[in-house]
């Protein structure tokens, strides 16, 4: 049996799993993804406010597109971070990679809140923003996949599907916290205050969040699987080359699955808020709170979806989630344009109900595609390339489609396309994975 084939079957897992260590692993994984997605998504929620500060233009759409291009650029460099942190994780340990990635993310986000604007130092402000987003993108390239890997390897084999749900719970709480923070600042400030200094406060919240995450991650040890491999000196010397040579099918599967998940989820978590404020002219504060509420519902669904995943398997539940996005994308986008905030809110919730059904099984499926030797690296490459192609670019592509076609429903076709790609890839995954 080849390495690729054997990686599709879950190994026996560690024999001694201390419940306290498992709880610490779950906490460290989920709280890390919380700060990652808080830091990364708060930019998307504040894109309309940030755009004039760094990309002033007589055309608001042009400013927003420029700000979203920087958002997408931060994700374009994720594969670079994935290769770096993947190699670090597979060669030197999961713990080191997780600590380094969250520290870099937190520092970069904090600096964003201190950046001078275009009106203060000219185009240099936009360059600095671009560079900071690059650092965030590189660090995020190792964060989610590191958390998925760590939780998967730390959990008892029979509970991996359920406990894997807590990592996406953390990431979605990051989105929710970002939206709620933006909504609170927007409610407490005037429009001019928000433009002047209010937008900085959510970024500076990264300081206490980073400290809490570091506390959680410095308390963990490496996973039992990695510790045993290190004891046996079974550590790859070139995990990137090994992953590319022995896990090509798994890399392609993970990339296409990431396109399906990322394209739909990122559009829902970042673009729809922009669409409701910039295109449909709803009050930004209301939209911030709506986004937080919708994500909270998604989070509450993740535990029962985790139980369903443990019962029916990752592949079946993930298929239901992708089909849900495929079927609801068009009617949800159509309902948002009916000039009723209540109807728009219901449509937003309808669309995002599939988010939990996609994210939870995927969190356990990705690690099972790769064997332990290259699990971190393989996931980092496949997941991040797919996220670059469809996830981080989703809000930019959606805004561009609406601006280019004049059709506010056009982003639905993008969602439908990436879901089809994800479904086709899922059909190639073995049933027992």
Judge whether 290 lies within some domain: yes
The total of structural domains in the chain comes to 1
Q: Dump pLDDT digits (tens) for 155-180.
A: 888 888 899 999 999 989 988 888 88
* Predicted pLDDT at 429: 93
Q: How far apart are alpha carbons 317 and 362 in whole angstroms?
A: 9
pLDDT at 176: 86
pLDDT of residue 431: 66
Three-state DSSP state, 9 = coil
| Cα 197 from chain centre | 27
Q: What is the pTM of this model?
A: 0.84
Q: How many CB atoms lie within 10 A of CB 404?
A: 9
Q: What is the dihedral of CA 36, 13, 258, 78, to 10 degrees?
A: 40
Which carries the bigger pLDDT value, residue 339 or residue 217? 217
Band of pLDDT at residue 65, cut at 50, 70 and 90: confident
For residue 6, pLDDT beyond 50: no
Put residue 406 in one of left, alpha, beta given phi > 0 → left and psi -120 to 50 → alpha.
Answer: left
Q: Is residue 355 part of a domain?
A: yes
Is residue 75 scored above 80 in pLDDT? no
In this prediction, residue 238 carries a pLDDT of: 92
- pLDDT bin (cut points 50, 70, 90) of residue 3 is very low
Report the distance separating Cα 115 and Cα 132, nearest Å.
10
- Average pLDDT estimate for 167-196: 87
Residue 54 has pLDDT above 50, yes or no: yes
Q: What is the span of the domain harbouring residue 414? A: 17-236+248-426
Q: What is the pLDDT of residues 406-419, one digit of tens each?
A: 898 999 999 999 99
| Residues 34 and 171 sit within 8 Å (Cβ to Cβ) | yes
Q: Tens digit of pLDDT for each residue in 284-341?
A: 889 888 988 999 999 999 999 999 999 999 999 999 999 999 999 999 999 998 789 9
- Per-residue confidence (pLDDT) for residue 22, from 0 to 100: 86
Residue identified by tokens 């601006």 is: 403
Q: Two tokens at 114?
A: 């201190």
One-letter-per-residue 3-state SS of 72-99: HHHHHCHHHHHHHHHHHHHHHCHHHHHH
DSSP string, 256-296: HHHHHHHHHHHIIIIIHHHIIIIIS---HHHHHHHHHHHHH
Average pLDDT of the chain to the nearest whole number: 87
In a domain, 142, yes or no: yes
Report the pLDDT value the prediction gives residue 360, as an integer from 0 to 100: 95
Give the list of residues 6+ apart from residue 393 with CB closer than 8 angstroms, or none. 72, 75
Q: Is residue 155 part of a domain?
A: yes
pLDDT of 80 reads 92
Of residues 424 and 400, the one with the higher pLDDT is: 424
Average pLDDT over residues 244-253: 95
Does the pLDDT of residue 32 top 80, yes or no? yes
Q: How distant, in Å, are the alpha carbons of 74, 150, 263, 385 from that of 93? A: 25, 10, 30, 23
* Alpha-carbon gap, residue 27 to 32, rounded angstroms: 8
pLDDT given at position 274 = 82
Q: What is the number of alpha carbons within 13 Å of residue 129 lying toward its C-beta?
A: 28
CATH code of the domain containing 333: 1.20.1250.20
- Provide the pLDDT for residue 18: 75
| 126 is a domain residue | yes
Say how far apart CA 150 and CA 139 lie, in whole Å.
16
Q: According to the model, what pLDDT value does residue 371 have?
A: 92
- 223: alpha, beta or left? (left if phi > 0; alpha if psi -120 to 50): beta
Q: Is residue 2 part of a domain?
A: no
Q: What is the pLDDT of residue 13?
A: 39
**Mean pLDDT across the stretch 64-68?**
75
Q: Is 199 within the bounds of a domain?
A: yes
Lowest mean pLDDT among 2-11, 232-241, 325-334, 352-361: 2-11
Helices and strands, number each (H, E), in the chain? 23, 0
| % of the chain exceeding 90 in pLDDT | 44
Q: Can you tell me the distance from the alpha carbon of 319 to that of 322, in angstroms, rounded to the nearest whole number?
A: 5
Question: What's the rounded Cα separation, in Å, for the pair 75 and 137?
Answer: 5
| Distances, alpha carbon 118 to alpha carbons 32, 51, 65, 189, 373, in Å | 32, 10, 16, 21, 47
Q: What is the CA radius of gyration of the chain?
A: 20
208 assigned to some structural domain:
yes
């Amino acid at each position: 049996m080849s390495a690729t084939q054997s990686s599709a079957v879950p190994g026996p897992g560690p024999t001694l799993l201390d419940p306290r260590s498992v709880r610490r692993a779950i906490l460290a994984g989920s709280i890390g993804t919380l700060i990652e997605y808080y830091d990364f998504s708060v930019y998307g929620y504040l894109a309309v406010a940030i755009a004039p500060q760094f990309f002033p233009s007589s055309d608001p759409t042009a400013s927003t597109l420029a700000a979203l291009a920087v958002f997408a650029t931060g994700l374009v460099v994720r594969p670079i971070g994935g290769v770096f942190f993947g190699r670090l994780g597979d060669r030197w340990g999961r713990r080191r990679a997780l600590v380094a990635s969250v520290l870099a993310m937190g520092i970069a986000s904090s600096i964003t809140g201190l950046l001078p604007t275009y009106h203060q130092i000219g185009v240099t402000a936009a360059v600095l923003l671009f560079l900071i987003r690059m650092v965030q993108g590189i660090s995020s390239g190792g964060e989610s996949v590191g958390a998925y890997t760590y939780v998967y390897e730390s959990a008892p084999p029979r509970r991996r599907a359920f406990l894997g749900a807590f990592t996406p719970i953390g990431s979605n709480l990051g989105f929710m916290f970002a939206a709620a923070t933006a909504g609170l600042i927007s409610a407490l400030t005037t429009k001019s205050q928000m433009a002047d200094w209010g937008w900085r406060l959510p970024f500076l919240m990264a300081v206490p969040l980073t400290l809490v995450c570091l506390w959680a991650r410095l308390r963990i040890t490496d996973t039992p699987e990695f510790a045993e491999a290190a004891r046996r000196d079974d550590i790859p010397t070139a995990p990137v080359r090994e992953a590319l040579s022995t896990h090509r099918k798994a890399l392609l599967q993970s990339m296409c699955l990431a396109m399906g998940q990322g394209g739909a989820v990122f559009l829902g978590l970042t673009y729809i808020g922009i669409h409701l404020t910039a295109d449909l002219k709803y009050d930004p504060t209301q939209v911030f709170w709506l986004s937080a509420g919708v994500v909270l519902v998604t989070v509450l669904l993740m535990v029962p979806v985790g139980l369903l995943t443990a019962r029916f398997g990752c592949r079946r539940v993930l298929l239901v989630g992708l089909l849900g996005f495929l079927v609801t994308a068009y009617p949800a986008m159509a309902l948002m344009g009916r000039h009723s905030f209540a109807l728009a809110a219901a449509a937003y919730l309808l669309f995002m109900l599939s988010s939990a059904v996609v994210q939870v099984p995927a969190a356990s499926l990705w690690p099972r595609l790769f064997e332990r030797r290259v699990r971190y690296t393989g996931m980092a490459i496949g997941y991040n390339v797919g996220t670059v192609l469809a996830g981080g670019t989703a809000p930019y592509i959606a805004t561009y489609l609406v601006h280019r076609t004049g059709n506010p429903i056009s982003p639905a076709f993008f969602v439908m396309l990436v879901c089809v790609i994800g479904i086709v890839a899922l059909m190639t995954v073995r049933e027992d994975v």
